[in-house]
Amino acid sequence: MIRITREADYGIVLMTALADGQPCSATLLAQQCRLPLPMVSKILKVLARAGLLASQRGVQGGYQLARPATAISAADIIGTLEGPIAITECSDESHEGCARQEHCKVSGHWPRINQAIHDALQSISLRDMSRPDPSQPLQFSSPFTGR
């Protein structure tokens, strides 16, 4: 099973809560999203350091998106909170080699699969994720079938 971490899942939930463009405090976001405040604060700081969120101190302060919701993708959020998207260790760009690589008949395919997953996540904007569930499931073109 391919899974994102709880931190990345919460990050997407928090970012969708901010997609309306209104600043919001960490405390209010934690309450609205029913998430633990320490985890919310940690995630918001990481997203702000990465330039996905802007923060402002003061009574009217809080966190808000640093760019439009249409310009932030699911891949941006997951990549910020989890690091580079890599389905296997050998498909990670920073991977320095595998002891089994010279005998592995599938290693050349993992980068293609990894790229397809990254492209799919990149194609889903925060704006898309902040809208109600679509009536039709998302359709992706397959690099394997050319559709």
Number of domains into which the chain is organized: 1
CATH code, 95: 1.10.10.10
27-31 LR contacts (CB < 8 Å, sep 24+)? 28/62, 29/63
Looking at residue 127, its pLDDT comes to: 93
- pLDDT category at 39 given cuts 50, 70, 90 is very high
Question: Of 62, 61, 68, 79, which Cα lies nearest the Cα of 12?
Answer: 79
| pTM, to two decimals | 0.81
- Tell me if residue 15 falls in helix, strand or coil: helix
Q: Is residue 87 part of a domain?
A: yes
Give the range of the structural domain holding residue 123, as residue numbers without chain letter: 6-130
What is the per-residue DSSP string for 101-130? GGG-SSTTTHHHHHHHHHHHHHTSBHHHHH
Q: Is residue 135 part of a domain?
A: no
- pLDDT category at 81 given cuts 50, 70, 90 is very high
- pLDDT category at 71 given cuts 50, 70, 90 is very high
Q: Is residue 46 part of a domain?
A: yes
**Cα distance between residue 67 and residue 70, in whole Å:** 8
Vertex 17: Cα angle to 128 and 122 (nearest 5): 35
